[in-house]
Structure 1
Amino acid sequence: MIDDHPIIIEGYQNTLQFTKKEHQELDIDIANNCDEALAYMRKSVDSNTPYDLLFVDISLPPSSDGRMNSGEDLAEYARKVLPDAKIIILTMFNESFRIHNIIKNIDPEGFLIKSDLTSSELASAFQAVLSNPPFYSGTVNSFIRKSITSDIVIDDKNRKILYLLSQGVKTKNLASHLDISLSAVEKRKKQLKELFEIEDGQDESLLNAARAKGFI
């Protein structure tokens, strides 16, 4: 279990110990940052006792060498060194852009938004991920449904443009975030406004339409 708030991990542990099935025995290691998590993962590989399941919070202090900056980085690393381990992502982030990226890059067996989480849902997610994954919380399922039913298809860079605009980043500063030219940013914004049928040309109208379709 990887989370930088010990009291949250204590709650997870108590819930699982109380609700586990009779034949299940839980052996839990706890990491509060990226360095501790990496050390545990490497130890499990070296000792040939790989983890069955990882609980990973997205927002974590970075590793001391700067190579791991979040739980997302850790989960991607775990996919390489612990290919048989199931991953449950737990996060406060509920923006569509972040959810999309996590599903695309990690494809977790479990994906829980902390604001949705109850002890009964955590217990259900744990059992479902072990026996019949995936298990996604309500916010994640809602995003997936909106994305599937929308007739608008946009690529990752355009998703990031929408996300950054929604965070208040000015158009002139988008290029540095996206590693493309300002003219390319302007062209992509024009395409997005055409896709979402924005007649007044305003960024705020674009953002409102993107939110309604589940892209932000």
Structure 2
Amino acid sequence: MDKLLTAIVDDHPIVIEGLKTMLQNEENVQIVGGFGDGESILFYMKSNQVDLILLDVTLPDINGMDLCQMIKKESLSTVILILSNRTERSIIMQTIQNGASGYLLKNSSIDELRNCIAEVAKGNICFSKEVIDIISRPSKNELQGRPRLTRREKQILILIAEGKTSQTIANDLFLSPLTVDTHRKNLIQKFEVKNMAELIKVAYEQFIL
């Protein structure tokens, strides 16, 4: 059986070395390298074949969700298996939507990793047991669905996320500060959150930002 030419993409060298050690004797895997960021794996793929990528979501330059799309654009046949500590259901679902074939948490057993590598190599989607539990339980925000925002509310939300004050936003959009504050209150009500920090967090989780 041909071995899968496998790259590990993680910003922790210890994780890369650990995975290399765990997988060095697997019959179906040949590690071709470890990469600490998204740019380096994309650059490597321009002149080298990679069959399988074990990918972390949290990287210093590109988030793993966006990187999935970039990898697939570079090589549609490359299979992506996410190996991450991130447990948000929205992140898990977004990686799959963007082209990943599976998702495991970093505390998964070697047997789970081995099984998922075999499954994704066959063209199937595979999750570790813990990830299956997470995706079978929608979060409160997802059950409610994404709030419907007006174009102006979306505009103001983006500027709030950039850390701008009501006065600055008012100046930028030629509004009165009072109007901006009213939009802020409406956003807090629509998202059913207590403050701006929570508003921004939920907006990111729902990929509105």
Q: Quick one: which amino acid aligns to residue 56 of structure 2? A: D
For the 8 Å contact 1:15–1:119, the answer to whether it is kept is: yes
For the 8 Å contact 2:10–2:35, the answer to whether it is kept is: yes
Mark the CA change 1:183 to 1:123 in structure 2 (over 3 Å): closer, same or farther: farther
Give 1:170-189 correspondences, 5 Å limit. Answer: 175-177=159-161, 183-184=182-183, 186-189=185-188
Q: Does 1:55 align with 2:48?
A: no
Partner Cα separation in structure 1 for residue 45 and residue 159 of structure 2? 37
In structure 2, stretches of 5+ residues that fail to align are 1-7, 150-155, 170-179, 199-205
Partner secondary structure for residue 26 of structure 1: strand
In structure 1, stretches of 5+ residues that fail to align are 45-49, 63-68, 158-171, 194-201, 208-214
Q: Does 1:113 align with 2:120?
A: no
Q: Does 1:87 align with 2:87?
A: no
Q: Please report how far the alpha carbon of residue 40 of structure 1 lies from its aligned counterpart in structure 2 after TM superposition.
A: 0.7
Q: Please report how far the alpha carbon of residue 28 of structure 1 lies from its aligned counterpart in structure 2 after TM superposition.
A: 1.9
Mark the CA change 1:38 to 1:97 in structure 2 (over 3 Å): closer, same or farther: same
Partner Cα separation in structure 1 for residue 94 and residue 194 of structure 2? 23
Q: Please report how far the alpha carbon of residue 139 of structure 1 lies from its aligned counterpart in structure 2 after TM superposition.
A: 3.5
Partner Cα separation in structure 1 for residue 39 and residue 144 of structure 2? 40
Q: Quick one: which amino acid aligns to residue 130 of structure 1? A: A
Over residues 49-78 of structure 1, what are the superposed CA-to-partner deviations in whole Å (9 max), with x where a residue is unaligned? x3211111122222xxxxxx3333322210
Would you tell me which structure has more strand in proportion to its own residues?
A: 2
Q: Please report how far the alpha carbon of residue 81 of structure 1 lies from its aligned counterpart in structure 2 after TM superposition.
A: 1.0
Instruction: Specify which structure has the bigger relative contact order, considering alpha-carbon pairs within 8 angstroms and separated by 6 or more residues.
Output: 1
Partner secondary structure for residue 29 of structure 1: strand
- The two structures, once aligned, show a CA RMSD in angstroms of 3.7
Partner Cα separation in structure 2 for residue 4 and residue 156 of structure 1? 37
Q: Which of 110, 131, 136 is 1:140 aligned to?
A: 131
Over residues 166-196 of structure 1, what are the superposed CA-to-partner deviations in whole Å (9 max), with x where a residue is unaligned? xxxxxx9875228996655543442444xxx
Mark the CA change 1:186 to 1:103 in structure 2 (over 3 Å): closer, same or farther: farther
Q: Please report how far the alpha carbon of residue 88 of structure 1 lies from its aligned counterpart in structure 2 after TM superposition.
A: 0.7
Give 1:14-163 correspondences, 5 Å limit. Answer: 14-18=21-25, 20-21=26-27, 24=28, 26-44=30-48, 50-62=49-61, 69-104=62-97, 106-114=98-106, 116-147=107-138, 152-154=144-146
Partner Cα separation in structure 2 for residue 182 and residue 102 of structure 1? 35
Q: Quick one: which amino acid aligns to residue 30 of structure 1? A: G
Mark the CA change 1:42 to 1:155 in structure 2 (over 3 Å): closer, same or farther: farther
Partner Cα separation in structure 1 for residue 127 and residue 148 of structure 2? 22
For the 8 Å contact 1:57–1:90, the answer to whether it is kept is: yes
For the 8 Å contact 1:3–1:57, the answer to whether it is kept is: yes
Partner Cα separation in structure 2 for residue 117 and residue 125 of structure 1? 11
Mark the CA change 1:175 to 1:17 in structure 2 (over 3 Å): closer, same or farther: same
For the 8 Å contact 1:174–1:182, the answer to whether it is kept is: no
Partner secondary structure for residue 39 of structure 1: helix
Mark the CA change 1:145 to 1:185 in structure 2 (over 3 Å): closer, same or farther: farther
For the 8 Å contact 1:15–1:123, the answer to whether it is kept is: no
Q: Who is 1:168 aligned against?
A: none
Partner Cα separation in structure 1 for residue 183 and residue 100 of structure 2? 33
Q: Quick one: which amino acid aligns to residue 40 of structure 1? A: Y
Q: Who is 1:65 aligned against?
A: none
